[in-house]
Structure 1
Amino acid sequence: MASNPVRKLARITGKPGRAAELRAALKELELATVTEPGCREFRFYQAISAEDSFVLIEHFTDEAALKLHLQLPYTQSFFARQLVDKVEAIDLPG
């Protein structure tokens, strides 16, 4: 049975005044996530015109790989920091 890749584009809005902290936390998360066996791509970009605005591109081999990623300690630690004000995600074609 073929697995369905999971690809998302997420627009992340950080809490005001915490852009540098969010950028550092996203970089840590990116470095850890790209080593996961089910991760094909996990990259973030910061907007030039709005320092609190970031875009994250994530691509996992399947839904199980994404679910595992969300349960890992470094992912949980990222969310526990509460640096994010809002996330808008859209699915991309696999």
Structure 2
Amino acid sequence: MSDRRFMPEVGDDLPPGERPMVAVVRAIPGHEDRLAAAIAVLTTAVRREPGCLEFRSFRDVADPGTFHLYEIYADTDAFRAHLATGHVATFFTELERHSTADAGALTQLVELPAAGSP
């Protein structure tokens, strides 16, 4: 095993409410299809989590070794519960085998209000 850290730190300073985020994951050359398969399994499992509002996975058209995961959880507690699941632990093992990613692949987001909204 490498010394890469996969578990993101979830601080107490995140805003309340929905917890949107995006992860960009790059495959080790030659591992693209194995990583895609692991992401497909993860996508199915995460969509069944009670706190998951949306989980969508995408493959980059211009770079088929790059994947984008778009996630929204009901709140920070739902995201913490997500991180504690067995399917996430399994996915972290797959990430180590088939990607160059680590916890830095995940970016926490804050939605901007539409113009004219309160």
TM over 0.5, yes or no? yes
Task: State the aligned residue count.
Answer: 92
Give the one of 81, 85, 88 matched to 2:100: 85
1:10-43: CA deviation from partner (whole Å, max 9, x where unpaired): 2211222111001000000000000110000011
More strand as a share of residues: 1
Q: Give the alignment's TM-score, normalised by structure 2.
A: 0.72
Partner of 1:44: 57
Following TM superposition, where does structure 1 have runs of at least 4 consecutive aligned residues deviating by more than 4 angstroms? none
Q: Give the alignment's TM-score, normalised by structure 1.
A: 0.88
Segments of 5+ residues of structure 2 without an aligned counterpart are 1-15, 113-118
Bigger relative contact order (CA 8 A; separation at least 6) = 1
Q: Give secondary structure in 2 for the equivalent of 1:85.
A: coil
Q: Give secondary structure in 1 for the equivalent of 2:81.
A: helix
1:62 lines up with 2:75 in the alignment: yes
The structure with the largest alpha-carbon Rg is 2
Partner of 2:29: 16
Deviation, 1:46, is: 0.2
Q: In structure 2, how many angstroms separate the alpha carbons of the residues matched to 1:88 and 1:73? A: 19
Q: Kindly indicate whether the alpha-carbon contact (under 8 Å) linking 1:12 and 1:55 is maintained by their aligned counterparts in 2.
A: yes
Of stretches 72-81 and 9-18 in structure 1, the one that deviates more from structure 2 is 9-18
Could you tell me the percent identity over the aligned residues? Answer: 26
Q: In structure 2, how many angstroms separate the alpha carbons of the residues matched to 1:74 and 1:90? A: 20
Q: In structure 2, how many angstroms separate the alpha carbons of the residues matched to 1:22 and 1:33? A: 16
1:44-75: CA deviation from partner (whole Å, max 9, x where unpaired): 10011111101110000001111111110011
What is the RMSD of the two structures over their aligned residues, measured on CA atoms? 1.6
Q: In structure 1, how many angstroms separate the alpha carbons of the residues matched to 2:44 and 2:81? A: 16
Q: In structure 2, how many angstroms separate the alpha carbons of the residues matched to 1:38 and 1:90? A: 16
